[in-house]
A and B are shown apart, each in its own frame.
Chain A
Amino acid sequence: MTQVAATEPTETSPAPGTGGRGKRDRSTTFDAIAHVLLVIWSLLVILPLLWVLVSSFKTTKEVLGNPLTWPHSFHWQNYVNAWTQSGVGGYFINTVIVVGCSLVLVMVLGAMCSYVLARFRFFGNRFIYYAMLAGLTFPVFLAIVPLFFILKNMLLLNTLPGLILTYVAFALPFTVFFLHAFFKRLPYDVYEAAQVDGAGEWRTFFQVMLPMARPGLASVAIFNFLGMWNQFLLPIALNTKTSNYVLTQGMAEFESQAGYAVDFGALFAAVVITVAPVLVVYIIFQRQLRGSVVAGALK
C-alpha cells in the first residue's frame, strides 16, 4: 500500500533527469497520433464545461431553443437569480462555513492523533491505527442510518455543527493514515532536544513537530478540502433543512425543481458558481495541487 513513495517528488518537480539525450527520433507519426488522441480527450473534457458556461448567459427561452447557438447578449440576470432567488448564495455560505470549520478541525485533530500514534508507544496503539484503517474501507452507506439517529439523539440533526462533526469524523481516518507516515519520518533528535530544553509535550508538538510536518499537512488539507466540498451523501441524509443546505445538495434540489420551475438559465449559472471557484484555484495552484493529490492517493 505504501510502496510508491518514489513517485512523489517527480510530480512536484517537473522533468526529472530525463533530458534529451540520444538522437532525435524520426518517428513523428507516433507523436502526431498521440496529440490527436489527447486533443480529442481534452475537447471531451472542455466542451461540456464550455457549453455550460455559454448556456449560463442565455435566457431560459434561448436555452430551450437550439442548444448550438450563442446567446444574444450576456444575460447576467441568471447569476443574480441563481444567487438570490434560488438560494445558491445561502448554500454557498453554508458550504464555506461547514467546509472551513471541518477542515480546520480535522487537520488539528488528525495531526494530533496521528502524532501520538506515530511517536508514542503504548498499549493499544496498533489496534487504534488498524481500526482507523478499517474505517477507511467501509462504505459510508452502511453507517448512514444509525448516524441519522445518533445525530437526532444528540439534537444535532439538521444543524451545521452536526454536519461539521460528521465531516470531521469521516475525514479523520484518511488524515490520520496519511499523516502517520509523515510524522513517523520526522527526526527524533529534534524532539529530544526540545524535551531537554524543557518544552512540554504541548509546546513540542505545536512549535517543533507541527511546523516540520507542513508539506504533509498541505497535501492532506487539499485532499480533504475537495472531498468535503464535493460531499453529497452526508448532507442529503443528515441535513434536510433547506436553510442549512450546502451547495451540492442545493444543486441536486435545484435540478429536480428545474423540471417544473424551468429556470434553466439560472441552473447553468448555478453550475458555474459551484464549479468556478474550485476550478480557478486549481488552475492557479495546479502543480502543487496535482502533486499533493497524487502523492495522497498513491500512499
Chain B
Amino acid sequence: MSSSSTTTSAGRTARPAGRGRRRRWTFDRVSFFAVFLGLPLVIFIVFVVSPFVQALYYSLTDWSGFSAAMNFIGFENYVKLFHDDTFMLSLRNSIILGLIVPFVTIVLALALATVVTVGGSGTGAVRGLKRSNLYRIVSFFPYAVPAIVIGIIWAQIYDPSRGILNALLTEVGLDRFADYAWLGDSRTAMAASIFVIVWGFVGFYMVLFVAAIRGIEPELFESARIDGASRMRTALSITIPLIRDNIQTAYIYLGIAALDSFVYMAALNPNGGPQNSTLVMSQDLFTTAFSKGQFGYATAMGVMLAVVTLVFAALVFIVNFATGGRDKGVRR
C-alpha cells in the first residue's frame, strides 16, 4: 500500500510512452482490447446510451408501451405538457426544490464547516474545535442511511398522532399541534419535505467543506488574523472565495438531486401530497409511465426533466463565472 502511493507521486512526470510505436497484434493484445474496452462499452451502450437516445425518439410518439402501435406525432407531447396543469404544478414544485434545497443546504453546511474549522485557538492557524471529529462522525450519519429510509423515519416523526414531533410540541405547551398533520396540510407539506431533504444532505456537504477548508494554506488565515480580521470576515472574504469551486460542484450535485427528489417524496407523500403540493416531476413521470402506461408522454416529461437539470447546471456555471469565480487562479 505505502509503496504504491510513493510511486504514484514519483511517476507523475512520466509521459505516455511507446503507444505510437507499432506493436504486433498478438492474441494477447487483441483479446485484451476486446475484453477491456469492448465489454464495458457494450454494457454502457446497451443500458445507458441507447435508452437515452430512444427516450428522445419516444417522446415524439404517442406510444402506449404494450401495444406495438406507435405514431410519430412530433412535438405534440411537449405542447400537451404545457397545458397539463398537474405537470406544470410538478414542474413548479421541482423548481422550488431546485432553488431552495441547494441554497439552504450549502449555507448550513458552510456555517457548520466554518464553525468546526475556525473554532479553537483564535490566533494562529486553523486549528479546529476540540472534539470536532465527533461532530463530523455524527454529521455523516444521514449519508449512511438510504434516502427512502430517511423519508420513512421522518414520515413517522411527522405523523399526526404517533409522531414524536407533535408529542414534543404539545409537551412544551403548544397544544394546537396535538394532531397537526405536517405532511397532510398543503401549507406545511412542502416545507416539511424540504426540511427532510436538507437534513439528509447537510452533513455530507459539511464534511466536504471541512476537507476543502483544511486544504487552504494555513498561512492565509494567520495573516488575516494578524491583520485583525474578525472570524466572520475571514469566513466571508477568505474561506468562501477559496473554496468556491467546491461550492459550485456541491451546488450542481445538490441541484440535480433536488430536481429529482423522487425517493424522499415517495416516502413522505407517495401520491403527491395534499392538493399535489409536493408532487414533483419525477413522480408525475413515474405514474404517467408505469401506472397510466403513457410511455411516449412520460418520456417527454423525462426530456423536460433533463432540460431543466442542464439549464440549472448552466445557470450555476454562469453565476459563478459572472461573479468572478474562475479568474482567482488560486487553485489549479
Contacts and interface: CB of A to CB of B under 8 A. Distances in A.
Contact of A149 (B10, B65, B153, B260): B65
Contact of A278 (B7, B9, B144, B303): B144
Given A22-B124, A51-B164, A115 B36 contact: yes
B129 A34 contact: yes
22 contacts: A10-B215, A18-B127, A18-B218, A27-B122, A34-B116, A45-B141, A49-B141, A49-B153, A63-B162, A68-B171, A115-B36, A121-B19, A137-B310, A144-B286, A146-B52, A150-B54, A202-B28, A214-B1, A232-B266, A236-B266, A268-B156, A298-B212
Q: Report the 8 A-B pairs with minimum CB-CB distance, sorted nearest first.
A: A187-B11, A25-B122, A22-B124, A169-B47, A7-B215, A143-B51, A113-B40, A200-B28
A67 B164 contact: yes
Contacts of A145: 51, 55, 58, 65, 289, 295, 298-299, 302
A186 B120 CA distance: 39
A119 B199 contact: no
Contacts of B256: 137, 139
Report the interface size class on chain A.
35 or more
Contacts of A220: none
A233 B139 contact: no
Q: Which label, helix, strand, loop or mixed, suits the secondary structure of the A interface? A: helix
Nearest to B285: A141
Interface string B123-159: 1111111100111111111111111110011111100
A207 interface: no
A32 to B, nearest CB: 10
Contacts, number: 359
A260 interface: no
B65 to A, nearest CB: 7
A141 B305 contact: yes
Interface in B102-132: 111-112, 115-116, 119-130
Find the residue from A45, A68, A256 having the highest chain B CB count within 10 A.
A45
A93 interface: no
A256 B20 contact: no
A151 to B, nearest CB: 9
Interface residues of B, number: 129
A202 B32 contact: yes
A297 interface: yes
B298 A38 contact: no
A215 interface: yes
B95 to A, nearest CB: 15
B278 interface: no
Interface of B: 1, 4-5, 7-12, 14-20, 26, 28-29, 31-33, 35-37, 39-41, 43-44, 46-52, 54-55, 58, 65, 111-112, 115-116, 119-130, 133-149, 152-157, 161-164, 167-168, 171, 199, 202-204, 207-208, 211-212, 214-215, 218, 222, 231, 245-246, 249, 253, 256, 259-260, 262-263, 266-267, 270, 282, 285-286, 289-290, 295, 298-299, 302-303, 305-306, 309-310, 313, 331-332
A221 interface: no
A229 B146 CA distance: 7
B18 to A, nearest CB: 7
